[in-house]
Structures are given as structure tokens and as C-alpha cells.
Structure 1
């Protein structure tokens, strides 16, 4: 399995494809994956098949890998005799097989092209049998438009681990932040807890804490700023954490830090503190407030040789006259504090 996703996948809907295409043109040639459903009933129209074919072919020619959600009705709708022929006609990279196909039919398809199973409903044993047919077999969790219906952490973690143990790559969705899909416009996450949170924080959460192999934005719109955070994480392995720092400590913005390998779960110790100009000098006490989750702290001179040590607090701690609070992770991005693993790199950026 990949250690983490190498890019953010996108979702495309025929009803808003003209708007999406303008944004997707910027990523042409990136080989990013795009998810598109070919059986959303509210998008059906007399020219549906023609529009779908044009959209799929444009995406393929632009260098995107198209993952299409299909059902048994899709074949009759497009007048094709089998899914491989349909995929060739539309320029599809992979097919997510929904209801109506037997395990034997899916295994036969897997021998011909990449196949995506429904991770939320298939069991690991059945997925393993399909994978034995050969070829690339993945499993994608659903997204959940209605609030309160998204998956909980325990289910996603258990299902992901069992499928990966069977040799299956696991994919999941996070919400967008610019254009949210109607009619509810409440975001399209796999995890309920991600609803309404920043895209980059949800991406890091799925990649680091849940270990999924691929992440798609379920909604059609993702801001360029959030995409930039994700690109940095994927290409350099550096997690960008938006934070508000005191004016006299803004030189910390943009520095790449490492979480000390022996950091406890309650806080992140900045390994480079000992290289920082304040370390070992007598930092005057100031702002010794309660260290609530997300606080960024600097040990002052009252801590003796620890003066100058930087930390990011993950669990509430009391005020300490030896510790200055010099900043805070921005509220919507607090989830990122849990995504910093011991030994991993991160940077504080203006929010």
C-alpha cells in the first residue's frame, strides 16, 4: 500500500461540469483521479449520454484518471453490452461497481481493468476473492449528503484495516469548501466528524490517522488555498498548520519543524527548538495563560535550561508561570494537531 495518498482526487457532476472544467483546466496533465457517477437520476435528460461521454472524454484527454460509478442500468442507458466496452468508449480508467453485479461478474471485470468496490458494504473476504482475479482492485467508501448519517471513526478504521489486510486499496471522501453540492449543500464527507471542517485538515486526517490510500473531495469546489496545503503535504511531507502567532514571534512562520520522536500524546515538542535563537537564553515570562488545546508555547527563563523550547499542546493543560503562550492553531484546523506524528515535519503558516 502507498504510505499516503499522492494527491487530492476530485468529484465531477454533469449538472455543474462547465464550471468544474474551468478549475480542472489548471490541473491538466496531473494524472489526478476524478470521480463521476453515471447513475444520478436527477441528472438524467434526453442528451444525458452525450453530455456524459463528452465530459469523460475531456477529462481523459486532459490527463485525469476517471473513476466512474456504474450500475446495471448504466449499460442499457448507454446501449452497451458490457462494462469494458463502455469504459473504452468513455475513456474511463476505473469502474466503481454498484448494485446489480455478482461477485463473479466483478472478478471477471477486474481481470480487464481497475475495479472499485463499495467499501462500506462489502466484506473483506469477498473483496479478497475478487482481488485474486488479478489486476488493481480498490474499495471506495460512500459520501453522505445528509447530516448525521456519515460514518463514525471506529467503523471507518476497522473497515479500512480489514480491507487493506486483504490487499485492497481504500478510498474515501472529504467535503469541499467553495461550491457545495445541492440540494442540501451540507458537504459530502465519508466521516460525519469532517462535515464543515477545512479540506486540508480532513485530507490529513484520512491520510495519517486512518491510513486510507486515496482521498477525493466529494463536493465540486475546493479553494486554491486548501489545495496548496494538500500539495505541500503530498509532495514534501510537510503539514502546513494555519496559526495565529504573537507579533514578536512571527519569525516562526514558514520554518519547517520536526515533531520530536519522543513527544507524548498530549503535546508536540519542536525538535528544532534547540537550534532556535531563544533556546537557552533567558526568555522573559509573559502570557502564562492556561494552555488550551491548540496553544503554541515557549518556555521562559523560569524553566532554566528549557528556556526557548517550543511546544504545540494537544490536550488542555493548566497555566504555568514557566511557560508563555505565544500563539494558537486556528480553531477550524485543530484537527491538524492530531495529524502530526512523532518524527514528522510541519510548519506554522498565517491563517
Structure 2
């Protein structure tokens, strides 16, 4: 199962506001809550009491809560790696190690008597994970989660993100990463210029960020890094198909009812013999081979266009394609619609035999 999550920072907010946010997210099917002890300063007892109130409410709603820590925080709170009773008492389901130990400690922590999940930092290119695995951890209690980056231009490059993530998926471990709300105003640190994992996501609409994360096939859980996202953003995330790339598209006025039916009602998959110029979904031409597809809107084709071959293309009539490149139109292809501009890059995530769908963007 792929989950959605939010982040709360009780040392920068109130229990009342956090509960309101958690309730909203839960209403839309969010299942994870991330929180952070890294930036705890001031009256520690009061802050921890606020944490406990917030965490307890999320647990009442059946949400999973993971708390971000590092060895410095453990020392400050007087906690040893082999006694995690503090976090059990706090009420969390697991702890995320922003900075880790030597590998053996992490392995031992996965056997804690409370069943706490140990989540490790995915955003590094070292042999950290392999080292932990060499100490034979309880893999059922070991997961990974990327960092987020409040400083503009400091987020991960896409290639580095893929490199790091593949290490975890290779071993079958659950993974998570962060997207950034454009409505949120704070995070765990004073500087907040968004809180994405990937730098390329910083200015994108939040639903496009999440679609991309799921489309990579490398992320199981997508968490909003900053607080508080708007209800509209949360709703948009809740409506995403987490298992199949679904493009928001504009359908042109000239597009026929039959073409609309092909676009929205048929199951599309990326034909296995790959072209540099288009993604081909060919079953519609078989199913509707006895139907007519009169030529219309045969303008030149742009990358991101949804195109359907017309009657002039004979046996290809009714075949749907997504344009990967700009192309001259011979007059045999109808341009039926266009992918939302911010989502066009997602077509590069599709692989042969991947399934995909469309939703009308208004």
C-alpha cells in the first residue's frame, strides 16, 4: 500500500492547531504523520508534553507517527540506543535516524521490545544501508526516508535521488520522501523556502510533485514536509491514483465523443516496441476498428499532445498516442488534447507495458 502523510512541528505550533490539521488530513485518507525532535529548544518538558498530546490524537485516528531524531538529541534527552522506552512512552510508532550510528546499533534497535520501526536516512551515497544489513537487522522493522531541504537550490538532484532510492528498493525496504506545500508557512527550522526532497519539485504544484514520486516506482509513502498544507492541496493529493500515472489533460472542443471515450474510458498501456516519438496505446484501434474517425484538428503535433489517428491512417485509425517530441502532422492524426503543462515531464517516467490514464483538467 502506498500512503500519504503530513508533518507537524509541535515546538512551532499549538496542540489545538496540530490536531485540527491531523483531523483534516485523516478525513482525506492520509495515514502517516512525521514529526521532529531535532530542533527542540527551550522548555523541553513543555515541548514533549505538546508532542505527546499531538501524537496521541493522531494515534486515536489510526495514523502512523514517526519521529525524527539523531544521536545528539538522544544524548540531550539521556536516551541510550538500546533503551527506546522513551519513544514508546511518547506514543510514536517509530523513529527516523537523521544521523546514524555504526550499523550494529541500528541493527540492534530493530529488535527493540516495543516493535518500533527504525527508519534510516536515504539521502546519502555511502554504504550505510549495506553496513546495517551486514549486522542482520530485523528487516520488518527497517525502513528508509529521504531528507527534505528548506534552503532553495539545496534539494536532491533527480539522478542522485534515483541512485539512493534504488539501494533501498533492491532490498525490498519501504521508502518515503517529501513534497512541499505552496500554502504552508513553517517547518522545523527558521528558514523555509519550501520543504521538498527533490529540488526540481520546489515550485511545482503539490499534486504534480506527488504524482512524480509515485511514478518513479521508488517511493512508497509521500509526506508533505512543511505545515500547514491547504485543504485544497490535501484534497488534490487524496485524489491521485498512487499506482498508475494519471495525466490531467485539456480536451479540445473538436474532439469527438468517441475519441473522448477512448481517452477516458479505455485501459491504456505503453506498447512494448518503443518509439522515440510517441507512446502508443493500440488496443482502441482494435476495439473500434469498425468506427469512423473523421480528420479534424490536424495541426502540427507538440510534445505532450494526446493524438488519435484518423481514417486516413487506415488500419491505425483509432490508435491513441502521447507525443514525446514535436512532429509534423501529415493530416492523418487528430490532436485531441494536451497534458497539463506542469505534468508533461511525467511522460518520461513511463516504461514499456506501464499502464496509464487521463483525467480532464478544468
Q: Deviations over 1:93-125 (max 9, x none)?
A: 110123374433322211112101111235232
Q: 1:245 aligns with which of 229, 251, 263?
A: 251
Q: Which aligned pairs between 1:267-286 and structure 2 lie closer than 5 A?
A: 267-274=278-285, 279=289, 281-286=291-296
Q: Which aligned pairs between 1:137-216 and structure 2 lie closer than 5 A?
A: 137-181=142-186, 185-216=192-223
What is the distance in 2 between the residues matched to 1:44 and 1:327? 57
Q: Structure 1 residue 46: deviation in Å? A: 7.1
What is the distance in 2 between the residues matched to 1:209 and 1:188? 19
Q: Deviations over 1:316-350 (max 9, x none)?
A: 32333211212111111223323444241412322
What is the distance in 1 between the residues matched to 2:55 and 2:69? 13
What is the distance in 2 between the residues matched to 1:58 and 1:80? 24
Gap regions ≥5 residues in structure 1: none
Mark the CA change 1:44 to 1:10 in structure 2 (over 3 Å): closer, same or farther.
farther
1:228 matched to 2:238: yes
TM-score (norm 1): 0.84
What is the distance in 2 between the residues matched to 1:96 and 1:160? 16
1:9 matched to 2:19: no
Please name the residue that 2:333 is paired with: 323
What is the distance in 1 between the residues matched to 2:181 and 2:136? 31
Gap regions ≥5 residues in structure 2: none
Mark the CA change 1:270 to 1:165 in structure 2 (over 3 Å): closer, same or farther.
closer
What is the distance in 2 between the residues matched to 1:276 and 1:327? 21
What is the distance in 2 between the residues matched to 1:330 and 1:24? 30
Q: Structure 1 residue 271: deviation in Å? A: 3.9
| Paired positions, count | 342
Please name the residue that 1:303 is paired with: 313
What is the distance in 1 between the residues matched to 2:329 and 2:43? 60
Q: Deviations over 1:6-33 (max 9, x none)?
A: 2212222222464453243145495712
What is the distance in 1 between the residues matched to 2:245 and 2:68? 32
What is the distance in 1 between the residues matched to 2:354 and 2:99? 43
TM-score (norm 2): 0.82
Please name the residue that 2:93 is paired with: 93
Q: CA RMSD in A?
A: 3.0
